[in-house]
Structure 1
Amino acid sequence: MPTLVVGPSWVGDMIMAHGLISYLKAKRPDDPIHMLAPAWSLNVARRMAEIDHVIELPFDHGELKLKERWAFARRLKVSCYHRAFVLPNSLKSALIPAMAGIPRRIGWRGEYRYKLLTDLRILRDSRFPRMIDRYMALGFPPNIALAANQLPEVPGCPKLLTDKESQARLAEYHGLNTRRLIAICPGAEFGPSKKWPLDNYSMLVSRLLEGGQQVALLGSPNDEADAEIIIQKVPVALRGDLKLLTGLTSIPEVIDIIALAQAVVTNDSGLMHVAAATERPLVALFGPTSPLHTPPLSKTAVVLDSSSGDISDISVDEVFDELSSQMQLNI
């Protein structure tokens, strides 16, 4: 019988869910796993080998629409799910599995969900500092999953699939030289305090271009203005090998481009987790957020964490030196 997973809305959080999804598939390889999530993060789920079917959540963030949710849930009922894992903590995320009559509904307590979940867990942050462990714990009985260090199995590093044909097409279309390509991802959600200063990015990009590297700036349409500022501060003579791709790629495309790069530099962002899940040499920059909660889970990732909480305290020299070391991993 199939399992329904109600997935997170954010790219990074969806990647953190891969530990649970991989565990569920390993334990019951014949049971299909269906992922229900918004279109944005569902594009990440499509690159997880363990997911058998994806279902787009047809409601915008913040929309309740009880009547429409009820009708949508009744359509899901025909799939005869025997259990649902509800990963977000919102009330709305628990409504559809309950309305669909799924007998086992597992999740953390969250917002007023006492009667919506049949297996409701109470989260103590100190026992599960990492998000990947919080998701993983839902796969075990509550009397076993008392803390991250007591889980019967440790979640593995998330993995995303890549599309070779898409990669070849993207490399040709954008003129990417994959033997010397460095991906720079200057964006981050939830405010500028998570972003390394644009001046620093400009200096880093200039040094990489001077050293003969090709640099691609990647991100969402929200990052276009920042990318333009970075470019304007790079000497004109060096811009021939600078590719401006912010806002020009879909989620599947940015996954494929990042996987082509020799190394990646990011803030604490969804694309940081993409780089880790495609096993690229990575330098991840943290300021006010903690790398203990959502670290880049990869053996090829290095974290530079500002002890003061101010990401601008991380110097260009520090990032360049770590990046140079990371680039050696591909030699």
Structure 2
Amino acid sequence: MDPILVFCLPAIGDFVRCHSAVQVIAERFPGHPIDVITSPLAAPLARLMPSVRKAWVLEKRHLQAGLGNRMQLARQLREQNYRACYLLSSSTKAALVPWMAGIPERIGYPRELQFGIVNRLPAGWLKSLVAFGPRKTRLFEQVCAIAMLGERPADGTQLPPPRMVISPEELSAWRVRHGIDAARPALALYTSDFANFRSWPAERFVSVARDHARRGWSVWIVGGPREREAATQIRAALPEAVDFTSTPDITDAMCQIAASNVFLGVDGGICHAAAALGGPCVLIFGSNRSYETGPVNDQVRYVEPPISTPSWIEHTRDVSEDNVLEALAAAVTQAHRPQGA
């Protein structure tokens, strides 16, 4: 069967949310291979996503890659005989790639007036084009709308949340490589940069980490270069914490999260990946941000500041340690509760 191409967004969190659309397409066209295009940073996650056959990499971020990069990728795509390309990115630069590749159907909302380059428009495209003011539709709903050609889901139908799967064999091999005792519970911390308004005060992360360490838990700090300074601060106060922020491969970071017993994080791309892995997650968000930008997976618990007037608080300073510890305990208990109990 002819393959289908999905042009995804480049940032980690956005790319993970695009998997909802991939699942919709896989259900609509069973048996058709589905490939994706994304950034070098996000592409390794594609192999963990059910229904994705292959990831194509646009060498730079979609909005920065030059015409030469796009033409080179288009030549490679032309050889694959794709029947359609779903453009989950609304930029003209993204739309040029399947157009140059000669893919017959190029589906998306023409928000940059790419008429002709985008040649199949979902229902309601005009309303989307002229919409003013803040959008109330969450990103995962937007990409699913493209996958469904603008059709509304039937009443009671839930859009599929993003999903990633790491095999037990891969997880076991990761534990062996790093000398991890599977019997010892582990708390994975994703702090972002402490200077980021989305983060949580350093001393509160340290307090939560100490609480778990006293009870025999391992504490793992996960992330990348942005989190290394925060990891240094946490380890200065709690030397037994393990700093995984120098991990060279993002799929290794996914093993760290999947091997932990509970993930505590803040608003950022890694929290979407953690949620998609299906384990217990507690996320600290500013008020009202969780609905618009947070993961939609059922097992995620949000801890947010009280809503005030105006009812939009970006910072997280009013989230207490007690509320976070309570949410972590509840998340772990829920994860160990038999299904249906």
TM surpasses 0.5: yes
**Candidates 298, 315, 326, aligned match of 2:331:** 326
Q: In structure 2, the residue corresponding to 1:182 is in which secondary structure? A: strand
1:89 Cα deviation from its structure 2 partner: 2.3
Residue 339 of structure 2: aligned partner: none
Matched, 1:256 2:274: no
Cα distance in 2 between the residues matched to 1:152 and 1:302: 23
Matched, 1:11 2:12: yes
Matched, 1:314 2:314: no
- Alpha carbons of 1:108 and 1:173: their partners in 2 closer, same or farther (altered >3 Å)? same
Residue 310 of structure 2: aligned partner: none
Which amino acid is 2:316 matched to? I
Residue 162 of structure 2: aligned partner: 158
Residue 54 of structure 2: aligned partner: 53
Cα distance in 2 between the residues matched to 1:69 and 1:249: 27
**Contact between 2:62 and 2:93, CA under 8 Å: does it hold in 1?**
no
Cα distance in 1 between the residues matched to 2:286 and 2:182: 30
Residue 25 of structure 1: aligned partner: 26
**What TM-score comes out, normalization by structure 2 length?**
0.86
Cα distance in 1 between the residues matched to 2:140 and 2:257: 22
Matched, 1:176 2:180: yes
Cα distance in 1 between the residues matched to 2:192 and 2:82: 38
Q: In structure 1, the residue corresponding to 2:282 is in which secondary structure? A: strand
**Candidates 205, 225, 228, aligned match of 2:229:** 225
Which amino acid is 1:86 matched to? L
Which amino acid is 1:87 matched to? L
**What TM-score comes out, normalization by structure 1 length?**
0.89
Cα distance in 1 between the residues matched to 2:265 and 2:208: 12
Cα distance in 1 between the residues matched to 2:290 and 2:7: 25
Q: What fraction of aligned residue pairs are identical, expressed as a percent?
A: 23
Report the RMSD for the aligned CA atoms in angstroms: 2.4
Cα distance in 1 between the residues matched to 2:329 and 2:80: 51
1:169 Cα deviation from its structure 2 partner: 2.8
Give the gaps of 5 or more residues in structure 2.
308-312, 337-341
1:15-53, Cα deviation, whole Å (9 max, x unpaired): 111111112112222211111111211111121120112
1:282 Cα deviation from its structure 2 partner: 1.0
Residue 91 of structure 1: aligned partner: 92
Q: In structure 2, the residue corresponding to 1:113 is in which secondary structure? A: coil
Which amino acid is 2:15 matched to? M
Cα distance in 2 between the residues matched to 1:287 and 1:214: 27
Give the gaps of 5 or more residues in structure 1.
none
Cα distance in 1 between the residues matched to 2:213 and 2:68: 55
Cα distance in 2 between the residues matched to 1:279 and 1:82: 32
1:140-197, Cα deviation, whole Å (9 max, x unpaired): 233x34xxx76894312221010333322322333333341111111169x7011111
- Alpha carbons of 1:8 and 1:99: their partners in 2 closer, same or farther (altered >3 Å)? same
Moved more, 91-100 or 109-118: 109-118
Cα distance in 2 between the residues matched to 1:150 and 1:193: 38
Matched, 1:212 2:212: no
**Contact between 1:37 and 1:57, CA under 8 Å: does it hold in 2?**
yes
1:116-149, Cα deviation, whole Å (9 max, x unpaired): 211343535877522111111112233x34xxx7
Cα distance in 1 between the residues matched to 2:71 and 2:274: 38
1:302-324, Cα deviation, whole Å (9 max, x unpaired): 01122333211101111111111
Which amino acid is 2:182 matched to? T
Q: In structure 2, the residue corresponding to 1:194 is in which secondary structure? A: coil
Residue 114 of structure 1: aligned partner: 115
Which amino acid is 1:252 matched to? T
Which amino acid is 1:318 matched to? N
**Contact between 1:6 and 1:85, CA under 8 Å: does it hold in 2?**
yes
Q: In structure 2, the residue corresponding to 1:39 is in which secondary structure? A: coil
**Contact between 2:62 and 2:94, CA under 8 Å: does it hold in 1?**
no
**Candidates 167, 171, 177, aligned match of 2:171:** 167
**Contact between 1:178 and 1:261, CA under 8 Å: does it hold in 2?**
no
Q: In structure 1, the residue corresponding to 2:292 is in which secondary structure? A: coil
Cα distance in 1 between the residues matched to 2:135 and 2:40: 32
Matched, 1:140 2:170: no
**Contact between 1:217 and 1:246, CA under 8 Å: does it hold in 2?**
yes
1:217 Cα deviation from its structure 2 partner: 0.5
**Contact between 1:194 and 1:288, CA under 8 Å: does it hold in 2?**
no
Give the paired residue count.
321
**Candidates 187, 191, 201, aligned match of 1:186:** 191
Which amino acid is 1:85 matched to? Y
Which amino acid is 1:274 matched to? A
Residue 205 of structure 2: aligned partner: 201
